[in-house]
Amino acid sequence: MSQLDDTDAKSVIMPAHVAIIMDGNNRWAKKKHLPSIAGHTAGAAAVRRVVEAAARSGVQVLTLFAFSSENWKRPKLEVDGLMTLFMRSLKKELKRMNKHNIRLKVIGDISGFSSSLQKQIHSVEQATIDNSQMTLVIAANYGGRWDITEATKCIARRVASGELSPENIDEALMSQHVQLADYPAPDLLIRTSGEERISNFLLWQTAYSEFVFLPVLWPEFDQQHFDDAIQTYQNRQRRYGGR
Protein backbone atom coordinates (compact mmCIF):
# COMPACT_ATOMS: atom_id res chain seq x y z
CA MET A 1 0.00 0.00 0.00
CA SER A 2 1.37 3.43 -0.93
CA GLN A 3 1.80 6.24 1.59
CA LEU A 4 -1.16 8.03 -0.01
CA ASP A 5 -3.33 4.91 0.25
CA ASP A 6 -2.33 4.45 3.89
CA THR A 7 -3.22 8.06 4.72
CA ASP A 8 -6.56 7.78 2.93
CA ALA A 9 -7.42 4.57 4.77
CA LYS A 10 -6.56 6.10 8.12
CA SER A 11 -8.58 9.22 7.44
CA VAL A 12 -11.84 7.31 7.11
CA ILE A 13 -11.52 5.36 10.37
CA MET A 14 -14.28 6.56 12.67
CA PRO A 15 -14.33 5.72 16.37
CA ALA A 16 -17.21 3.39 17.09
CA HIS A 17 -17.62 4.78 20.61
CA VAL A 18 -16.91 8.36 21.67
CA ALA A 19 -17.11 9.41 25.33
CA ILE A 20 -17.14 13.06 26.42
CA ILE A 21 -16.56 14.77 29.75
CA MET A 22 -18.59 17.93 29.27
CA ASP A 23 -16.68 20.45 31.35
CA GLY A 24 -16.85 24.23 31.54
CA ASN A 25 -20.51 25.17 32.01
CA ASN A 26 -19.88 27.10 35.22
CA ARG A 27 -16.83 28.89 33.85
CA TRP A 28 -18.78 29.87 30.74
CA ALA A 29 -21.57 31.34 32.90
CA LYS A 30 -19.10 33.13 35.16
CA LYS A 31 -17.32 34.63 32.17
CA LYS A 32 -20.63 36.07 31.00
CA HIS A 33 -21.70 37.15 34.53
CA LEU A 34 -24.63 34.73 34.49
CA PRO A 35 -25.91 32.26 37.10
CA SER A 36 -24.58 28.71 36.89
CA ILE A 37 -27.86 27.30 35.60
CA ALA A 38 -27.48 29.50 32.51
CA GLY A 39 -24.24 27.68 31.79
CA HIS A 40 -25.91 24.31 32.16
CA THR A 41 -28.77 25.40 29.90
CA ALA A 42 -26.25 26.50 27.27
CA GLY A 43 -24.49 23.19 27.79
CA ALA A 44 -27.71 21.34 26.99
CA ALA A 45 -27.77 23.08 23.61
CA ALA A 46 -24.21 21.85 23.03
CA VAL A 47 -25.38 18.32 23.82
CA ARG A 48 -27.92 18.57 21.03
CA ARG A 49 -25.22 19.75 18.60
CA VAL A 50 -22.78 16.99 19.45
CA VAL A 51 -25.43 14.25 19.35
CA GLU A 52 -26.40 15.32 15.84
CA ALA A 53 -22.74 15.63 14.79
CA ALA A 54 -21.90 12.17 16.13
CA ALA A 55 -24.91 10.57 14.46
CA ARG A 56 -24.04 12.18 11.11
CA SER A 57 -20.44 11.00 11.43
CA GLY A 58 -21.37 7.36 11.88
CA VAL A 59 -20.46 7.02 15.56
CA GLN A 60 -22.29 4.00 17.00
CA VAL A 61 -22.20 4.95 20.70
CA LEU A 62 -21.87 8.41 22.26
CA THR A 63 -21.45 8.52 26.05
CA LEU A 64 -21.80 11.84 27.86
CA PHE A 65 -20.77 12.45 31.48
CA ALA A 66 -23.75 14.49 32.65
CA PHE A 67 -23.68 14.23 36.45
CA SER A 68 -21.04 12.55 38.57
CA SER A 69 -21.56 10.94 41.96
CA GLU A 70 -19.41 13.78 43.36
CA ASN A 71 -21.64 16.51 41.89
CA TRP A 72 -24.06 16.21 44.83
CA LYS A 73 -21.50 18.29 46.75
CA ARG A 74 -22.39 21.34 44.65
CA PRO A 75 -24.75 24.04 45.99
CA LYS A 76 -28.31 22.76 46.39
CA LEU A 77 -29.70 25.46 44.09
CA GLU A 78 -27.39 24.30 41.30
CA VAL A 79 -28.16 20.61 41.86
CA ASP A 80 -31.91 21.27 41.88
CA GLY A 81 -31.53 23.24 38.66
CA LEU A 82 -29.62 20.37 37.06
CA MET A 83 -32.31 17.86 38.02
CA THR A 84 -35.03 20.11 36.56
CA LEU A 85 -32.99 20.58 33.38
CA PHE A 86 -32.43 16.82 33.09
CA MET A 87 -36.17 16.14 33.41
CA ARG A 88 -37.04 18.86 30.91
CA SER A 89 -34.44 17.65 28.40
CA LEU A 90 -35.68 14.06 28.57
CA LYS A 91 -39.22 15.18 27.77
CA LYS A 92 -38.15 17.65 25.09
CA GLU A 93 -35.65 15.46 23.23
CA LEU A 94 -37.70 12.26 22.97
CA LYS A 95 -39.33 13.28 19.69
CA ARG A 96 -35.96 14.34 18.26
CA MET A 97 -34.31 11.03 19.28
CA ASN A 98 -37.06 9.02 17.60
CA LYS A 99 -36.85 11.19 14.49
CA HIS A 100 -33.11 10.55 14.20
CA ASN A 101 -33.37 6.88 15.21
CA ILE A 102 -31.31 7.36 18.39
CA ARG A 103 -31.60 5.09 21.41
CA LEU A 104 -31.17 6.43 24.95
CA LYS A 105 -29.38 4.50 27.68
CA VAL A 106 -28.73 5.95 31.15
CA ILE A 107 -25.96 4.48 33.32
CA GLY A 108 -25.20 5.21 36.96
CA ASP A 109 -27.02 4.89 40.25
CA ILE A 110 -30.35 6.40 39.22
CA SER A 111 -31.87 5.30 42.54
CA GLY A 112 -30.40 8.52 43.89
CA PHE A 113 -32.82 10.56 41.79
CA SER A 114 -36.44 11.44 42.54
CA SER A 115 -39.06 8.84 41.66
CA SER A 116 -40.47 11.13 38.96
CA LEU A 117 -37.07 11.50 37.30
CA GLN A 118 -36.45 7.75 37.50
CA LYS A 119 -39.82 7.15 35.87
CA GLN A 120 -39.04 9.62 33.09
CA ILE A 121 -35.66 7.97 32.45
CA HIS A 122 -37.25 4.53 32.14
CA SER A 123 -40.00 5.92 29.93
CA VAL A 124 -37.61 7.48 27.40
CA GLU A 125 -35.33 4.43 27.42
CA GLN A 126 -38.32 2.22 26.62
CA ALA A 127 -39.66 4.60 23.98
CA THR A 128 -36.34 4.56 22.09
CA ILE A 129 -35.34 0.93 22.66
CA ASP A 130 -35.83 -0.08 19.01
CA ASN A 131 -33.85 2.85 17.56
CA SER A 132 -30.63 1.72 15.88
CA GLN A 133 -28.80 4.64 14.25
CA MET A 134 -26.81 5.45 17.39
CA THR A 135 -26.99 4.84 21.13
CA LEU A 136 -26.76 7.93 23.33
CA VAL A 137 -25.52 6.96 26.78
CA ILE A 138 -25.98 9.48 29.59
CA ALA A 139 -23.84 8.85 32.67
CA ALA A 140 -25.84 10.30 35.57
CA ASN A 141 -24.97 9.88 39.25
CA TYR A 142 -22.09 7.87 37.89
CA GLY A 143 -18.56 7.29 39.17
CA GLY A 144 -15.91 4.94 37.86
CA ARG A 145 -15.00 3.65 41.31
CA TRP A 146 -18.70 3.03 42.07
CA ASP A 147 -18.97 1.14 38.78
CA ILE A 148 -16.03 -1.17 39.58
CA THR A 149 -17.22 -1.66 43.16
CA GLU A 150 -20.72 -2.67 42.03
CA ALA A 151 -19.26 -5.08 39.46
CA THR A 152 -17.05 -6.60 42.16
CA LYS A 153 -20.04 -7.05 44.48
CA CYS A 154 -21.97 -8.84 41.73
CA ILE A 155 -19.08 -11.21 41.05
CA ALA A 156 -18.59 -11.81 44.80
CA ARG A 157 -22.26 -12.78 45.14
CA ARG A 158 -21.85 -15.29 42.30
CA VAL A 159 -18.81 -16.79 44.04
CA ALA A 160 -20.62 -16.94 47.39
CA SER A 161 -23.57 -18.77 45.80
CA GLY A 162 -21.25 -21.35 44.29
CA GLU A 163 -22.14 -20.31 40.75
CA LEU A 164 -18.61 -19.09 40.05
CA SER A 165 -15.13 -20.16 41.10
CA PRO A 166 -12.57 -17.48 42.05
CA GLU A 167 -10.19 -19.05 39.52
CA ASN A 168 -12.61 -18.11 36.75
CA ILE A 169 -12.43 -14.38 37.52
CA ASP A 170 -10.48 -12.53 34.83
CA GLU A 171 -10.58 -9.24 32.95
CA ALA A 172 -13.15 -10.54 30.49
CA LEU A 173 -15.51 -11.47 33.32
CA MET A 174 -15.04 -8.10 34.97
CA SER A 175 -15.84 -6.38 31.69
CA GLN A 176 -19.14 -8.25 31.57
CA HIS A 177 -20.22 -6.76 34.91
CA VAL A 178 -19.28 -3.09 34.62
CA GLN A 179 -21.57 -0.49 33.09
CA LEU A 180 -21.55 -0.44 29.26
CA ALA A 181 -20.85 -4.18 29.19
CA ASP A 182 -23.09 -4.49 26.11
CA TYR A 183 -21.17 -1.86 24.14
CA PRO A 184 -17.65 -1.55 22.71
CA ALA A 185 -15.15 0.24 24.95
CA PRO A 186 -14.70 3.95 24.11
CA ASP A 187 -12.21 4.47 21.30
CA LEU A 188 -11.98 8.20 22.01
CA LEU A 189 -12.45 10.20 25.20
CA ILE A 190 -12.85 13.97 24.82
CA ARG A 191 -12.71 16.44 27.69
CA THR A 192 -13.48 20.11 27.22
CA SER A 193 -12.43 23.21 29.22
CA GLY A 194 -8.68 22.53 29.12
CA GLU A 195 -8.60 20.26 32.17
CA GLU A 196 -6.52 17.13 31.62
CA ARG A 197 -7.93 14.44 33.90
CA ILE A 198 -10.76 11.93 33.65
CA SER A 199 -12.39 12.69 37.03
CA ASN A 200 -13.51 9.18 37.96
CA PHE A 201 -15.19 8.58 34.58
CA LEU A 202 -15.24 5.11 32.99
CA LEU A 203 -12.04 4.05 34.76
CA TRP A 204 -12.25 0.44 33.61
CA GLN A 205 -13.62 1.07 30.13
CA THR A 206 -11.10 3.71 28.99
CA ALA A 207 -7.95 1.66 29.67
CA TYR A 208 -6.96 1.88 26.00
CA SER A 209 -8.98 4.88 24.84
CA GLU A 210 -7.34 7.77 23.04
CA PHE A 211 -7.66 10.98 25.08
CA VAL A 212 -8.17 14.40 23.49
CA PHE A 213 -8.26 17.47 25.75
CA LEU A 214 -9.68 20.64 24.23
CA PRO A 215 -9.46 24.19 25.68
CA VAL A 216 -13.02 25.10 24.59
CA LEU A 217 -15.70 25.44 27.28
CA TRP A 218 -18.52 22.95 26.82
CA PRO A 219 -21.31 25.44 25.90
CA GLU A 220 -19.12 26.58 23.00
CA PHE A 221 -18.44 23.06 21.70
CA ASP A 222 -19.65 22.66 18.12
CA GLN A 223 -19.31 20.57 14.96
CA GLN A 224 -15.83 21.94 14.20
CA HIS A 225 -14.51 21.03 17.65
CA PHE A 226 -15.99 17.54 17.29
CA ASP A 227 -14.42 17.15 13.84
CA ASP A 228 -11.05 18.36 15.19
CA ALA A 229 -11.15 15.75 17.96
CA ILE A 230 -12.03 13.03 15.46
CA GLN A 231 -9.16 14.10 13.20
CA THR A 232 -6.74 13.99 16.13
CA TYR A 233 -7.97 10.48 16.90
CA GLN A 234 -7.51 9.42 13.27
CA ASN A 235 -3.90 10.61 13.34
CA ARG A 236 -3.08 8.43 16.37
CA GLN A 237 -1.65 4.91 16.16
CA ARG A 238 -3.41 2.58 18.59
CA ARG A 239 -1.07 -0.19 19.72
CA TYR A 240 -2.83 -1.58 22.82
CA GLY A 241 0.52 -2.13 24.50
CA GLY A 242 2.17 -3.61 21.41
CA ARG A 243 4.29 -2.07 18.69
Enzyme catalytic residues: 23, 71
Alpha helices in 60-196 (DSSP H): 76-99, 115-127, 144-160, 171-177
Alpha helices in the chain (DSSP H): 3-11, 25-31, 36-57, 76-99, 115-127, 144-160, 171-177, 223-234
DSSP 219: G
Residues 6+ apart with CB under 8 A from 210: 15, 187, 188, 189, 232, 233, 236, 238
